[in-house]
């Protein structure tokens, strides 16, 4: 598919140009008919969906791993991470390669299965509302906020929280321990 560069656009160094009101770029994508977005600086590239190697004893949200230029990259199903049924694979299904920080501030590359990639949008801070305290179909700590785009809301995901390998590892440990406790 398409490779994205995540280097920032050159800007003037004047104080006015570096205002906190400068728009931030987000990659928008579809999941089960809803529009979500990730900050473009976390997105490394977008690749075509191809077969995954399944890893035993992983939580449902980790669908497997892929070989990305010799590196093993875990692939997460965001819908499963949100506790919802996974979408079927279509010709528009792709994997967004994202770089996140773990608890030790080390970089981790993760693939995210999405139904379709839409576009890159500029969203100004003034057009971002805080995550709703209730009524959201996903955990509020997964959301950076709600972006207003063309009269509609886009769910802005916090990549470091929703794709937290540390939290997924804890899920794996709980899953591995639970059956052992049931035997006692």
pLDDT of residue 132: 75
CA distance 29 to 50: 18
Inter-residue contact 96 to 29 (CB < 8 Å) = yes
- 143-168 mean pLDDT: 85
Q: What 8-state DSSP symbol labels residue 78?
A: H
Which of the residue ranges 5-9, 39-43, 93-97 would you say has the lowest mean pLDDT? 5-9
pLDDT at residue number 66: 94
pLDDT confidence tier of residue 151, bands split at 50, 70 and 90: confident
Short-list 86, 85, 23, CA closest to 49: 86
Q: Quick check: 166 pLDDT over 50?
A: yes
Q: Provide CB contacts within 8 A for 174, sequence distance 6+.
A: none
pLDDT category at 169 given cuts 50, 70, 90 is low
**Can you give the pLDDT at residue 164?**
80
Of residues 96 and 150, more confidence is placed in 96
pLDDT > 90: what percent of the chain?
Answer: 45
How many CB atoms neighbour CB 153 within 10 A? 15
> Which band of pLDDT confidence, cut at 50, 70 and 90, is reported for residue 138?
confident
DSSP-assigned beta bridge partners for residue 26? 39, 121
All structural domains of the chain? 24-176 (2.40.50.180)
User: DSSP letters of 122-151?
Assistant: EE-GGGEEPPPSSS-SS-GGGEEEEEEETT
Show Cβ contacts of residue 145 under 8 Å, excluding neighbours closer than 6 positions. Answer: 128, 129, 130, 131, 156
pLDDT of residue 135: 56
| Strand spans (E) along 19-136 | 24-31, 34-39, 43-48, 62-68, 71-77, 94-101, 107-114, 116-123, 128-129
CA atoms within 13 A on the CB side of 12: 6
Residue appearing with tokens 């500029």: 122
């Amino acid at each position: 598919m398409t490779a994205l560069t995540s280097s920032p656009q050159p800007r003037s160094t004047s104080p006015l140009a570096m205002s906190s009101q400068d728009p931030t770029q987000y990659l928008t994508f579809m999941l089960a008919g809803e529009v979500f977005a990730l900050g473009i600086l976390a997105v490394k590239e977008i690749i075509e969906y191809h077969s995954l190697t399944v890893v035993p004893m992983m939580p449902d949200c980790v669908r497997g791993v892929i070989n990305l230029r010799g590196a093993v990259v875990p692939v997460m199903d965001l819908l499963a991470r949100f506790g919802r049924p996974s979408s079927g694979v279509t010709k528009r299904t792709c994997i967004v390669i994202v770089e996140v920080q773990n608890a030790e501030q080390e970089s981790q590359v993760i693939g995210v299965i999405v139904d379709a990639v839409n576009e890159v949008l500029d969203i100004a801070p003034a057009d971002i509302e805080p995550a709703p305290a209730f009524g959201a179909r996903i955990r509020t700590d997964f959301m950076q906020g709600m972006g207003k785009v063309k009269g509609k809301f886009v769910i802005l995901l916090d990549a470091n929280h929703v794709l937290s390998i540390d939290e997924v590892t804890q899920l794996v440990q709980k899953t591995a321990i639970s059956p052992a406790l049931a035997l006692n």
